[in-house]
């Protein structure tokens, strides 16, 4: 059998639609490709992709009778010399195998010990700071308060206001059925001051500042800024992590007060429209309906949530590896974990203070 | 072969400016088939900018940039895409996709054609990696696990994946130690002989420039002040050329290139 190939066998010609399938079916239809007599001297241009196509058709061997033009020998010489190449086999393991269970456990323990280490380092840095406050990272703290606190006033106000309106509107409708219009103050005040204010502020700050803190530390890892700080004798804990945690511990309670106030204003407005409840009545009734202890609990929550968010953000930020995928994944995990931690802590608060702040 | 094949790159009357600051003024440059052209120039002379304009990443304020006969300013999307399949680019840091393994990085340009069967891509990728000296065992690694020299070689394999007619190299040996950089230069030279592509390279490294280039273009005073073989360029009287090639550093690099030094000293002296 005699096979003659001609034309252009370069990748741009082969890449035209339909060319490769036609060539492959032609090659496969040959009964014994490698035993045939091949004439490639009429091929005008050929590259490794074209040569590889024929080579694969021959089953990785050079035919005995092969007529090549000048310039094609080099291609087939290299293919012969390189021989068959294959990727190493990947170890496939099933989803529930021991390997995965061990891997998950290890990573969980790793994160826990990392977090404990971070808290320990924070405590040591705090003692250092308290002993020598003049050399503390005041500038960093102030910058972080501005970014995480002052710049978050807008978004917390918008979300708090809308939630206040919605909550007030829905509760007013239900209460009206039972003729309990006046209890709207109790429902709104209690839920916003004790629960919703801190939660809304925490979730927004976790999404806003938590992610940016993680990404900032991650990019500093990618650009070797973290290493540069270490060799200059600027410890990460004292200069990067301590200011972030302190800043969120200060600004979160303030944001909680702000969110509470705006949400209550939204609720008062909606109550005026829906039930005709006067704002003066609402404000005068509020101290009776919501004991002061609830306000302090809300502030305490803000303080604890702030510390949690900053700790989680720094923990994941420092673990980012210098590549783009790790950066994206680290930031996502950081936000998800921070919000989960905040909700868990909120449940703990609810259990601890179950007898406080009610009439 | 016809009497004179069309130039691979043709730049005419190029002007580049950042606000008030003019970087290139009335710059002309022609690259012919099979050449290895080095673009040299001081810091801020706009070498990298010129490279980015050839690649269509930046638009010049004025002038024409034609690559493989295609005007880079054209809005013909299909023609530009076909052009992009005919060149390969080696970025300074490699620019490997860090989310993909070495194998997938090199396979990406082939897969994007969407016509090649996967078994053939696999063989072709491993062959390309073999050409640059990467074993199949390293092919399943992620770029983050590779050393600087290996990243450069993988990036070269990716640039060569579609058998380009034109190869752009941005600082090909920056960040490699002298031994590795010598090996890399040797690799590019042998691949150039085997695959017969045209090379346009931007480099600071005199050793690399003199070892590889068949042509040198010198950027200074906002234009190309000299273009020609290394001997021709060294013979040009110009303060920058003298400083760059014939300073302390340049003499050391030229030491094992005696013929060039003699020619140039005759030229300068």
Give the DSSP letter string of B215-239.
EEEEEETTEEEEEE-HHHHHTS--H
Largest CA distance in chain A: 103
Which among B186, B183, B162, B178 has a CA at the least distance from the CA of B112?
B162
> What is the end-to-end Cα distance of chain B in Å, rounded?
40
Beginning with the edge strand found earlier in the chain, give each strand of the sheet holding B198-202 in spatial order. Answer: B87-90, B166-170, B198-202, B36-41, B215-220, B223-228
Is the pLDDT at B247 greater than 80? The verdict is no
Q: Which CATH architecture has domain A2-82?
A: 2-Layer Sandwich (3.30)
CATH number of B9-228: 3.40.50.300
Candidates A71, A320, A323, A330: best to mutate against B (most CBs of B within 10 A) is A323
B103 with A24: Cβ contact below 8 A:
no
Structural contact between residues B3 and B167, judged by C-beta atoms closer than 8 angstroms: no
Interface subset of A 285-344, CB within 8 angstroms of B = 321-325
Provide CB contacts within 8 A for B51, sequence distance 6+: B39, B168, B170, B200, B202
SS3 at position A269: helix
Candidates A15, A91, A322, A325: best to mutate against B (most CBs of B within 10 A) is A15
The confidence score (pLDDT) of residue B2 equals 46
| A279 and chain B in contact, CB less than 8 A | no
Is the pLDDT at A95 greater than 70? The verdict is no
The confidence score (pLDDT) of residue B1 equals 42
- Portion of chain A with pLDDT greater than 90, in percent: 58
Structural contact between residues A338 and A206, judged by C-beta atoms closer than 8 angstroms: yes
The single-letter DSSP state of residue A206 is I
How do beta strands B70-71 and B62-67 pair?
Answer: antiparallel
Is the pLDDT at B260 greater than 80? The verdict is no
Residue of A nearest to B102 (CA): A87
Q: What is the enclosing helix (H) or strand (E) of B98?
A: none
CA distances from A108 to A7, A215, B269 (A): 60, 22, 73
CA distances from A33 to A73, A76, A341, B121 (A): 19, 16, 65, 21
Is the pLDDT at B168 greater than 50? The verdict is yes
Domain map (residue ranges) of chain A: 2-82, 125-352
Which among B106, B155, B136, B124 has a CA at the least distance from the CA of A20?
B124
Residue A189 backbone phi and psi in degrees, to 5: -60, -50
Distance from the Cα of A57 to chain B's closest Cα (Å) equals 10
Q: Hey, CA dihedral for A30, A31, A34, A39, is it positive or negative? A: negative
* CA dist., res. A290 & res. B200, Å (int): 76
Which among A202, A201, A191, A171 has a CA at the least distance from the CA of A357?
A191
Residue span(s) of chain B under CATH 3.40.50.300 come to 9-228
Q: pLDDT-based confidence at A77, cuts 50/70/90?
A: confident
Residue A326 backbone phi and psi in degrees, to 5: -60, -35
B127 with A324: Cβ contact below 8 A:
no
The confidence score (pLDDT) of residue A96 equals 67
How do beta strands B9-18 and A2-9 pair?
Answer: unpaired
B130 with A10: Cβ contact below 8 A:
no
Structural contact between residues B198 and B33, judged by C-beta atoms closer than 8 angstroms: yes
The confidence score (pLDDT) of residue B253 equals 65
Dump pLDDT digits (tens) for B54-64. 888 888 888 88
Alpha helices in chain B (DSSP H): 47-54, 77-86, 102-113, 118-131, 136-139, 148-159, 178-195, 206-212, 230-234, 239-246, 248-254, 258-268
Is the pLDDT at B269 greater than 70? The verdict is no
Which chain B residues have a beta carbon less than 8 Å from that of A25?
none
The single-letter DSSP state of residue B143 is G
Structural contact between residues A38 and A65, judged by C-beta atoms closer than 8 angstroms: yes
B139 with A87: Cβ contact below 8 A:
yes
* CA dist., res. A236 & res. B136, Å (int): 40
pLDDT (average), residues A235-255: 94
Distance from the Cα of B232 to chain A's closest Cα (Å) equals 32
Is the pLDDT at B252 greater than 80? The verdict is no
pLDDT (average), residues A194-200: 95
Dump pLDDT digits (tens) for A272-326. 998 888 999 999 999 999 999 999 999 999 999 999 999 999 999 999 987 777 8
* CA dist., res. A210 & res. B124, Å (int): 45
Q: Mark out chain B residues that contact chain A at CB-CB < 8 A.
A: 82, 85-86, 98-99, 103, 110, 113, 115-117, 119-120, 122-124, 126-128, 130-131, 136-137, 139-140, 142-144, 162-163, 194-195
Task: Please state whether the predicted TM-score (pTM) of the whole model is above 0.90.
Answer: no
The confidence score (pLDDT) of residue A160 equals 96
Give the pair of three-digit tokens for residue A17. Answer: 């639609």
Give the pair of three-digit tokens for residue B101. Answer: 């393994």
* CA dist., res. A241 & res. A122, Å (int): 8
Dump pLDDT digits (tens) for B113-157. 888 888 888 888 998 898 888 888 888 888 888 888 889 889 989
Cross-chain CB nearest to A85 (options B116, B130, B195)? B130
């Amino acid at each position: 059998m005699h096979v003659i190939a001609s034309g252009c066998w370069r990748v741009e010609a082969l890449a035209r639609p339909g060319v490769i399938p036609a060539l492959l079916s032609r090659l496969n239809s040959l009964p014994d490709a490698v035993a045939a007599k091949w004439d490639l001297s009429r091929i005008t241009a050929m590259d490794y992709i074209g040569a590889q196509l024929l080579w694969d058709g021959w089953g990785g061997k050079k035919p005995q009778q092969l007529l090549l033009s000048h310039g094609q020998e080099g291609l087939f010489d290299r293919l012969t010399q390189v021989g068959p190449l294959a990727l190493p086999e990947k170890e496939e393991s099933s989803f529930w195998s021991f390997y995965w269970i061990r891997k998950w456990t290890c990573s969980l323990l790793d994160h826990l010990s990392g977090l404990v280490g971070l808290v320990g380092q924070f405590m040591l840095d705090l003692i250092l700071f308290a002993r020598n406050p003049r050399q503390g990272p005041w500038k960093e703290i102030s910058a972080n308060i501005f970014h995480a606190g002052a710049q978050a006033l807008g978004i917390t106000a918008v979300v708090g206001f809308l939630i206040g309106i919605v909550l007030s509107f829905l509760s007013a409708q239900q209460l009206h059925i039972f003729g309990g219009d006046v209890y709207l103050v109790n429902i709104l005040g209690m839920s916003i001051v004790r629960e919703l204010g801190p939660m809304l502020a925490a979730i927004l700050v976790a999404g806003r500042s938590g992610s940016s803190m993680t990404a900032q530390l991650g990019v500093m890892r990618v650009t070797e800024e973290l290493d540069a700080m270490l060799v200059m004798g600027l410890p990460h804990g004292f200069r990067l992590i301590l200011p972030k945690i302190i800043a969120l511990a200060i600004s979160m309670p303030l944001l909680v007060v702000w969110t509470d106030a705006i949400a209550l204003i939204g609720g008062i407005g909606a109550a005026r429209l829906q039930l005709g409840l006067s704002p003066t009545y609402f404000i005068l009734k509020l101290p009776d309906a919501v004991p002061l202890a609830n306000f302090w609990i809300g502030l305490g929550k803000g303080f604890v949530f702030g510390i949690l968010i900053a700790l989680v953000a720094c923990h994941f930020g420092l673990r980012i590896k210098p590549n783009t995928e790790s950066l994206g994944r680290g930031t996502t995990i950081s936000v998800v974990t921070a919000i989960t931690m905040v909700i868990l802590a909120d449940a703990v608060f609810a259990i601890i203070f179950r007898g406080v702040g009610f009439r | 072969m016809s009497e004179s094949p069309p130039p691979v790159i043709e730049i005419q009357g190029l002007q580049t400016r950042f606000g008030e600051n003019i970087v290139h003024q009335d710059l002309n440059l022609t690259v012919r088939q099979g050449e290895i052209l080095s673009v040299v120039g001081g810091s801020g002379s706009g070498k990298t900018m010129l490279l980015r304009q050839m690649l269509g990443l930046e638009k010049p304020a004025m002038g024409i940039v034609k690559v493989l006969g295609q005007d880079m300013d054209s809005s013909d999307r299909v023609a530009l895409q076909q052009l992009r399949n005919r060149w390969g680019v080696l970025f300074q840091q490699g620019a490997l996709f860090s989310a993909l393994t070495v194998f997938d990085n090199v396979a990406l340009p082939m897969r994007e054609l969407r016509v090649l069967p996967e078994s053939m891509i696999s063989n072709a990728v491993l062959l390309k990696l073999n050409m640059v000296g990467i074993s199949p065992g390293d092919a399943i690694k992620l770029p983050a696990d590779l050393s600087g020299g290996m990243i450069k070689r993988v990036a070269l394999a990716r640039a060569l994946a579609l058998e380009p007619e034109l190869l752009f190299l941005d600082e090909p040996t920056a960040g490699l130690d002298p031994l590795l950089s010598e090996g890399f230069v040797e690799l590019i030279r042998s691949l150039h002989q085997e695959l017969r592509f045209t090379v346009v390279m931007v480099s600071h490294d005199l050793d690399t420039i003199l070892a590889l280039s068949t042509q040198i273009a010198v950027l200074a005073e906002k234009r190309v002040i000299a273009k020609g073989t290394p001997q021709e360029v060294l013979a040009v009287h110009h303060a920058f050329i003298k400083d760059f090639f014939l300073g302390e550093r340049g003499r050391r690099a030229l030491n094992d290139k005696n013929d060039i030094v003699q020619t140039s000293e005759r030229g300068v002296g």
